[in-house]
Structure 1
Amino acid sequence: MAVRGAEGQRESGWRFLLRALAHRNYRLFFMGQSVSLVGTWLTRVATSWLVYRLSGSAWLLGVVMFCGQIPSLVLAPLAGVLVDRWNRHRLLVVTQVLAMLQSFALAVLALTGVIAVWHVGALCVVQGLINAFDVPGRQAFVVEMVEDRADLPNAIALNSSMFNVARLLGPSVAGGLIAWVGEGGCFLMDGFSYLAVIASLLAMRLTRTPRVEPHGEVWKELKEGFRYAYHFTPIRALLGMLAVMSVMGMSYTVLMPLMATRVLEGGPSTLGFLMAATGLGALGGAGYLASRRSVRGFGKTIVRTGALFGAGLVAFAVSRWVGVSLVLLVVVGFGMMVMMGASNTLLQTIVEERMRGRVMSFYAMALIGTAPFGSLLAGALAARIGAPATIGVGGVVCLGVAGWFGVKLPALREVVRPIYERLGIIPEVASGMREGASRMGPAKD
């Protein structure tokens, strides 16, 4: 089918970039979650600022982040088994309602002036428990919202875009809102924002999909999931790389209040701008992923953007000017987003459906569950060698693990190519249009 004129080409391009939104259920989720995530980022920035304002301690910043993330490490594998057994739609409604109540609890404590660091830590544990089930459930549910599997990579990329638009908007206004309504006001707005995603979930019309009945004990299925992920080399390599990147690289966000105040000599607004710069770069990365017509070449993309992420962190660590730091964080955000999004897409497309919940729980464990140790390590190192040096060390390690993945890539490619050909998940693309799911091309990664 020919496309006439530049206007037609632009229209076709936009439709291609947003093709997952043609699915009604996914479109509802996208709109509701977009609102909710802005509130989530308000709370993230406000929580970091509140803990630092109350304690002035880099160590306690790391401890509080640890409290919010450790449940994902402990419970995510078990949650993955249950996600494969339970109704994922119903699970997400429950987790979103509980997360809303947690935000309201933070708001009440902050607005009444009785909040202490231990309150924040305890409620972060509650949120971590919720996330242990919500993250793998949300990742696995994408397949049920997008009926055409060929649109799955685009849906994952749009999820990343949604997350990073929120990362851009939330922190950019958080500094002003903290100064205007305080941390409690930010928590209150976050609580109300959950109503949007809850309403979108309730408005969905879902076709009941046949679910494999549990055939054994939970612990046996958990062991089966671990065995599957460990012996499937591409999944093992991707999860290992993400775990190291999370521990050593992504914990830089814990130290942002110190970088904003002590290194760059700013305040809440500076912190908001720094976080927003990361979001801007990540948004660009998500747009790049959405523009991809297939998963071909994602292996090399992961290597290059993982290295870019590490190099950006090293450069940010030595910067002492706000303007330069903002530019570098755009680079960091781009590299981080593309590396994570491409990894997520590869995992989602090669995993067996019966193992999807468990593998995505391992993904959550690698990306979020290991982060508590990164938070503690970042806090401890920053107390000894300073925040800039800590971020620089993390960047060097990220460069190293990107190189390691690059060395492993040829062997991983040989394993993945026949799987893609057998499953038929890479439709050929010609003249900007899909020719049909029945015609499949060879995969390189």
Structure 2
Amino acid sequence: MNLDKKQSQSWKGRTAAFLFGQGISLFGSQLVQMAIIWHVTLETSSGIWVTILTLASFLPQMLISPLAGVWADRYNRKLIMILSDGVIAITTLLLALFMMSGNTGNAVLPVIIIVSAIRSFGAGIHSPAINSALPQIVPEDKLSRINGFNGTIQSIVQFVSPIAAGAIMAIGPIYNILFIDVATAMIGISILSTLKIPKHQPVPKAEKTSALEEMREGFRFTWNNRFLRKLFATYGLYIFLCVPSGFLAALMIKRTFGDNIMFLTVSEVVGFAGSVLAGLLLGATGGFKNRVKTLFLGMLVYGVTSLAIGFTNVFWLFVALMFFIGFTIPFAQTSVYTLVQEKVEPSMMGRVFSLLKVMFSGFMPLGMAIFGPLADVVRIQTMVIVCAVPIILLAMNLRLSRSFYREGIHTPEAVGTGDNQV
């Protein structure tokens, strides 16, 4: 996984350009995500419709990710990122033209769902490639800090995007945001196309294998590694339990504090401000040398904070707690991604990251399928409280599992040689 001397000489410039280009593209995508969620929430005020939209936005990622991981290990990861971003941009452009032609209300909702599903397929193909390509550019001992800075960029984008989305939606139709997304995608693709990313070397095989067999190989590798198996299971359950406090937050705000887009904007901005601060902290320090300790603290604080949110009916206090919710997210995400990048060899990394994507894009829609319809008959705050307790217990389990906790300490010589015993 280590870069050679010649490659490492220019890694900083390439990494900066790579992250900047992806950040620009992410900004447009985040604008669309905010606009669509708010549009559906405000138009329908329905937990069912929010659930359908969420499933359309994440289930396709889960379905395509295992195959996308094989592609990321087989083929040129840079080309995969360019093509997937291009398809997303074209699909978004078609939705903008459809809405611009005068289609509104219930007529546009099914089209939004379809477009969200196609965008999700593109994101599922893009994600394993980008996470696997980063270690091809960045020296191994810098991965945690670069992941922290990458998290900062994402948090800044997420901090700015709700402000921008709220302002644009206040002064004009939603399709203006869709056109912005197309433009930012083109900028991101242009920057990426100019970068030279070292090619990864797939493991030589005695005979040609099918994509299905390579998918199975990636699953077996992850399942037989006790550390990765527990890491993925913990992360998946954590995502599932975060659904009420995270993905139903907009609906909770509308029902608790009123039908005001300003409330949605302020809550999103403050939450992402917490993410920005945490990302900067991780980028500057790299977090704890023990990555599991970073994960433990992130999950623990999230659980305690979401428990408090469940009892809150005062908006300013709710917003303050959302800041701490946002602060914890980079701790969990950065530590998980860094652990995978440090412990998995490059030839297998695309498939392992695809399984990580499956954990997110599978457990989150599962949570929405359960908690979304329940939100129409049960107070969301009640569900938040019920889910906060097991999040805290999950975090404590990480700390009390001594062997797992010790393996979180970064040891470069152990990369790719994790415990593969069942």
Decide: shared fold, TM above 0.5.
yes
State the alpha-carbon separation in 1 of the partners of residues 193 and 45 from structure 2.
42
Q: CA deviation at 1:293?
A: 4.6
| CA apart distance, 1:45 | 1.2
Q: Does structure 1 residue 93 correspond to structure 2 residue 82? A: yes
Specify the code of the residue in structure 2 equivalent to 1:105: L
One-letter identity of the residue aligned with 2:126: D
Q: CA deviation at 1:53?
A: 3.0
> Matched residue of 2:164: which SS?
helix
1:161 paired residue among 132, 152, 166: 152
- Unaligned 5+ segments in structure 2 are 1-7, 418-422
SS of residue in 2 equivalent to 1:272: helix
Change over 3 Å in CA distance of 1:21–1:234 after alignment to 2:
farther
After alignment, is 284-293 or 321-330 more displaced?
284-293
Q: Residue 334 of structure 1 aligns with which residue? A: 327
Equivalent-residue separation in structure 2 for 1:294 and 1:327 (angstroms): 24
Which runs of 5 or more residues in structure 1 are unaligned? 1-18, 426-445
Structure with greater contact order relative to length (CA < 8 Å, sep ≥ 6): 2
Deviation at 1:394, TM superposition (A): 2.5
Mean CA deviation greater in 342-351 or 249-258: 249-258
State the match for 1:142 in structure 2. 134
Q: Report the Cα offset of residue 173 of structure 1.
A: 2.5
Partner of 1:307: 300
Per-residue deviation, 1:294: 6.8
Equivalent-residue separation in structure 2 for 1:390 and 1:232 (angstroms): 34
Deviates more, 1:371-380 or 1:352-361: 371-380
> What CA deviation, in whole Å up to 9, does each residue of 1:367-406 have, x standing for no partner?
2332111222221221121222222223223212212222
Residue number in structure 1 paired with 2:3: none
Q: Percent identity?
A: 19
Structure 2 counterpart of 1:203: 194
1:230 aligns with 2:227: no
Which is further off, 218-227 or 103-112?
Answer: 103-112
Matches within 5 A, 1:369-380: 369-380=362-373
Residue 417 of structure 1, CA deviation: 5.7
Indicate the larger mover: 374-383 or 134-143: 374-383
In 2, are the aligned partners of 1:252 and 1:378 still within 8 Å (CA)?
no
How much is the aligned-residue C-alpha RMSD, in angstroms? 2.3
TM-score normalised according to structure 1 size: 0.85
Q: Equivalences for 1:55-94 in 2 at 5 Å?
A: 55-94=44-83
Give the structure 2 partner of residue 32 of structure 1.
21
In 1, distance between residues paired with 2:121 and 2:347? Answer: 24
What amino acid is the match of 1:86? Y
Larger mean CA deviation between 287-296 and 382-391 belongs to 287-296
Question: Does residue 117 of structure 2 align to residue 128 of structure 1?
Answer: no
Q: Distance in 2 between matches of 1:192 and 1:403?
A: 45
Equivalences for residues 199-348 of structure 1 within 5 A: 199-213=190-204, 215-250=208-243, 252-293=245-286, 296-348=289-341
- Report the counterpart of residue 44 of structure 1 in structure 2: 33
Is the Cα–Cα contact under 8 Å of residues 66 and 351 in structure 2 kept in the other structure?
yes
Give the aligned residue type for 1:193.
T
Supply the distance in 2 between the matched residues of 1:207 and 1:420 (Cα, whole angstroms).
Answer: 21
Q: Does the alignment pair 1:184 with 2:175?
A: yes
Report the CA distance shift for 1:132/1:189 in structure 2 as closer, same or farther (over 3 A).
same
User: Structure 1 289/119 Cα, relative in aligned 2: closer, same or farther at 3 Å?
Assistant: same
Give distance in 2, aligned partners of 1:421 and 1:98.
40
| 1:10 aligned residue | none
* Alignment-mate amino acid for residue 358 of structure 2: M
| Counterpart pick for 1:53 among 22, 42, 46 | 42
| Shift in CA distance, 418/46, structure 1 to aligned 2, threshold 3 Å | closer
In structure 2, the residue corresponding to 1:320 is in which secondary structure?
coil
Paired AA for residue 347 in structure 1: V
Question: For 1:213 and 1:336, how far apart are their aligned partners in 2?
Answer: 38
Provide the C-alpha distance between the structure 1 equivalents of 2:337 and 2:193, rounded to a whole number of angstroms: 26
| 1:396-435 CA-partner distances (Å, limit 9, x unpaired) | 2321221222222x1114556696444499xxxxxxxxxx
Going from structure 1 to structure 2, the CA distance change for 1:418 and 1:58 (only over 3 Å counts) comes to: closer
Listed as ranges, the matches of 1:359-378 within 5 Å are 359-378=352-371
Give 1:140 shift.
0.5
State the alpha-carbon separation in 2 of the partners of residues 386 and 293 from structure 1. Answer: 39
Higher deviation after alignment, 413-422 or 73-82:
413-422
